Structure 1
């Protein structure tokens, strides 16, 4: 019994040590900038970076001269299809976590371990009507050319409508689609967000497996900070 207790204590200490190392690596990696010379232009196209405290997403206008998302993400795929949507929120993540954890209280140890090691991926797309900026939905102005690059990066994650499976989302305005890529600890949903932004030339951290590593680069709007 004593030997088993010692082995258990050692294993727990190793796990805690690995977790601390991961947090340190994430903190350091997220502090190293990509596109360090980028500055937000005075005018351009406004996107938003969304967070729920754990997971991040990129919110884009539904229609601009650069892209009309209605063909890729038709409102008819969601239950509340008749609303006058103006924006789409796009994020990437692990299939089992997305589909089986409508709230973070629903996540299980096996689901979490499976996602950390290796998991299939999905796109999560939510449709919004005139989303209001705030601490959890932070606007960011980028140039038309940068937005075109952002669009191209997102398009690379889209499986054609006739070749993908649709999974109903958590609410009436969201849906999941099949997506390429493998989710693991080094390639998380938040890393996808920062990689997509970096591809467009926007300043963001090098390795951002956690939500905070992404959002630290996106300033809160003034009205959110004055609450």
Structure 2
């Protein structure tokens, strides 16, 4: 009986210890700043937005440095108009994104697949107005060099065809102003959607935590 009881305790203690170590590392590394470039007063305004779980980058649709319409066709967003001055980018697991339109759609198999399956990833793109004043967003200003670096990171996250064009998934959007595209990389407990945002900000020289696996790990640096 003691042997059985000891085995049960080890079976429970092992996963608990792993989860505890993961959370401890997440807190510690999210608090450890990777120092970036000094902040600028005048520059390209970008936003980092959250839905409470997931973070997105919101960038100008076009300016003198980067024109996203060279990658994203207007026909992919038939519901947009002159108000769509910005584009939102969010990276994540393909199955989770496409099969979980609402939290009520979440299934355990989908969540486990996202964590451990190593399946393909997608980029979720929204055409939207400037989100200034939203309590769900933090604003940053980047110098020209920093913004180009950020845009290069985002562009490099799209999977592309032989001609270098992004690959849309027709009919995959939630509405007429968004669409999913094939992306590079695989979601995991280490490479999360929020760590993608953190990597993008670090590429731009924004001071942010060394590892940002959770929504709060990112937003604490941009609010």
Q: TM-score range by the shorter chain?
A: 0.7 to 0.9
Quick check: 1:153 aligned with 2:153? Answer: yes
Deviations 1:138-168 (A, max 9, x none): 1111111110111111111123475624242
TM-score by length of structure 1 reads 0.86
Q: Does structure 1 residue 166 correspond to structure 2 residue 169? A: yes
Distance in 1, matches of 2:92 and 2:127, equals 17
| TM-score (structure 2 length as normaliser) | 0.88
Gaps of 5+ in 2: none
Shift of 1:24: 1.0
Instruction: Establish whether residue 194 from structure 1 lines up as the match of residue 168 from structure 2.
Output: no
Alignment of 1:68-107 (within 5 A): 68-82=67-81, 84-107=83-106
**C-alpha displacement at 1:178, in angstroms?**
0.4
Deviation larger for 155-164 or 49-58: 155-164
- Which consecutive residues of structure 1, in runs of 5 or more, have no partner in the other structure? 220-227
**1:32-47 alignment, distance < 5 Å:** 32-34=32-34, 36-47=35-46
Aligned pairs, number: 218
Q: Secondary structure at the match of 1:140?
A: strand
Structure 2 match to 1:26: 26
Deviation per CA, 1:88-145: give whole Å up to 9, x if none.
0001100011100112232221111111112210001011023233221111111111
Q: Secondary structure of 1:42's match?
A: coil
Q: Is the 8 A contact 1:91 1:125 kept in 2?
A: yes
